[in-house]
Amino acid sequence: MSVHEPTSHNFPENARKALGNKTLQRGLASAKVGFRIRRSEAAARLPEFETLRDESRDIKNHTLAHIDLYLEEFEKRVVERGGHVHWAADAAEARETVLTICRAAGAKTVTKGKSMISEEMGLNAFLEENGIEPVETDLGEYIIQLRGETPSHIIAPAFHVLKEEVIETFREKHTHLNPDRVIEEARELQDEARQVLRERFLGADVGITGANFLIAETGSTVIVTNEGNGDLTQTLPRVHIVLASLEKIVPTLEDASTILRLLARSATGQEYSSYTTFSTGPRRGEDLDGPHEFHVVLLDNGRTDLIGTEMQDVLRCIRCGACMNHCPVYGAIGGHAYGWVYPGPIGAVLSPSLIGVEEAHHLPAASTFCGRCEAVCPMRIPLPKLMRHLREREFERGIPPATVRWGLAAWAWLARRPTIYHLAMRLPIRLMALLGGRKGRFRSLPLAGGWTSQRDLPAPQGPTFQAMWNARGGRREASK
């Protein structure tokens, strides 16, 4: 199988490489700030934003507590309207299901809207191996497909690619391009992709999209895009296949509408994305266009293991990407270092849950717990708390090396004994303050190479916080 195998176990090395990758660093520096500003402006324009976050969290909590019943309702409605629902326990079963539908349709070419579930399934490589050509149609996905890469951001898959690199890729892969034709601007690249993909849309036998929501009330699937590629993908071919994981379900059109008020604002800072499309069954008898077949592939792939556990909250995620846009770790290393489909804080929680703590235990450890991800998550997922659960699980399974375990044990012993702790701190701190000298910082320090290889370590300035606190009578205040 040429499916991209996870490299999350290799996270420290991946991160080191990312930090040294000048192109990536340039892209990250310019891109991440824009997302943050736009989100906060969009939230500020809607006074009801915080209330909607509470309501959306409650909608998903209610749905997850009744998920079996809502999925049954959804299935019933899809079938009633002439569609098909296929349940898949894991990625392999979902791939086989898609292949069977494509074969039955005699498909040679399949156009695709953006779908993280498709990435999770490793669908493109599998279709290629079976003689079916998958064509990604989201501009970012198309670019990285041409480059043989994977997405580095869940809503901006080509986040890591610079414009010059896109020009190179198009020059190389679009062999029809006249070498004399000037292509310099993003707009020209977009037009070139539009022209090429237009033909692919019209010639495809099957269109595959993801789903942002499934609606139990009506049996609808929902996609949200800015480009309109998902709509051409699902309207022009004879067959429309929707790939969705179980937790995308919500009860009603109103529930989806409430959460949709948060999605674009949290993701790109738009009030609403250009296209929000509800699809229900195949074309009706008298319709002039639309697909003749409508299939929904419902993927579990480990999610049922999370339901009813301390990790359940992660299933509220609506994949807006706000957590990674605000994460200092993602901002420093980008998405690929995380080594599997989902990067950033949501990946640090989802990956160990879905592909195992053994493979992905580094990810929840690579967090400062600064809490920004939770502060911006529209669904109020307590991401730091979930990462802490995963760290505990990692420790319980004896995954960290012995030195780390002993070090932590020694620290825990010390931290529980304040008197000894203070004594033990006072001396080295005085010593470091002395050695730090006039510069007040260290270029290198024994045992602290992990820190000082990338940046200076500030030297302690004067007494400890506890000593200052006591000197100001803090202890007296606190005991009142």
Partner 1 sequence: MSKASRDAILGKLRGSAIRDGDEASARAAVKARIKTHARGTIPARSKLDRKGLMNLFAEQATAVDATVARVAAADDVPAAVADYLRGENLPTTLRMAPDPRLDDCSWDKAPMLDIAYGKAEPADQVTVTGAFAGIAETGTLMLISGPESPTTLNFLPDTHIVVLRASEMVGAYEDAWDRLRVTGRMPRNVNFITGPSRSGDIEQTLHLGAHGPRRLHVILVEDDG
- Which residues, 335 to 374, sit near partner 1 by CB under 8 A? none
| 115 is a contact residue toward partner 1 (CB under 8 A) | no
Which stretches within 46-104 are classed as H helix? Answer: 49-65, 67-80, 91-104
Enumerate residues 68-97 that contact partner 1 by CB under 8 A.
Answer: 68-73, 81, 86-89, 93, 96-97
Q: How many residues bind partner 1 (CB under 8 A)?
A: 104
| 392 is a contact residue toward partner 1 (CB under 8 A) | no
What is the DSSP track for 145-165? HHHT---SSSS-TTTT--HHH
Backbone dihedral angles phi then psi of residue 424, each to the nearest 5 degrees:
-65, -25
Among the listed ranges 117-125, 300-308, 357-365, 467-475, the one in contact with partner 1 (CB under 8 A) is 300-308
Spatial contact of 246 and 304, defined as CB atoms under 8 Å apart: yes
| Minimum distance of partner 1 from residue 282's CB (angstroms) | 7
> Residue 192 is inside which H or E element, if any?
helix 186-203
| Minimum distance of partner 1 from residue 374's CB (angstroms) | 22
The site map against partner 1 for 33-72 (x = CB under 8 A) is: -xx----------xxx--xx--xx--x--x-xxxxxxxxx
Enumerate residues 11-30 that contact partner 1 by CB under 8 A.
Answer: 27, 30
| 434 is a contact residue toward partner 1 (CB under 8 A) | no
Q: From CA 179, how far away is CA 189, in angstroms rounded? A: 14
Nearer to partner 1 by C-beta: 300 or 394? 300
Enumerate residues 203-222 that contact partner 1 by CB under 8 A.
Answer: 216-218, 220
Among the listed ranges 272-280, 362-370, 445-453, 458-466, the one in contact with partner 1 (CB under 8 A) is 272-280
Give, in order, the Cα–Cα distances in Å from 209 to each of 213, 241, 408: 12, 6, 46
Spatial contact of 80 and 302, defined as CB atoms under 8 Å apart: no
| 196 is a contact residue toward partner 1 (CB under 8 A) | no
| Minimum distance of partner 1 from residue 383's CB (angstroms) | 21
| 241 is a contact residue toward partner 1 (CB under 8 A) | no
Q: From CA 31, how far away is CA 15, in angstroms rounded? A: 19
| 252 is a contact residue toward partner 1 (CB under 8 A) | yes
Spatial contact of 211 and 243, defined as CB atoms under 8 Å apart: yes
Q: From CA 471, how far away is CA 276, in angstroms rounded? A: 61
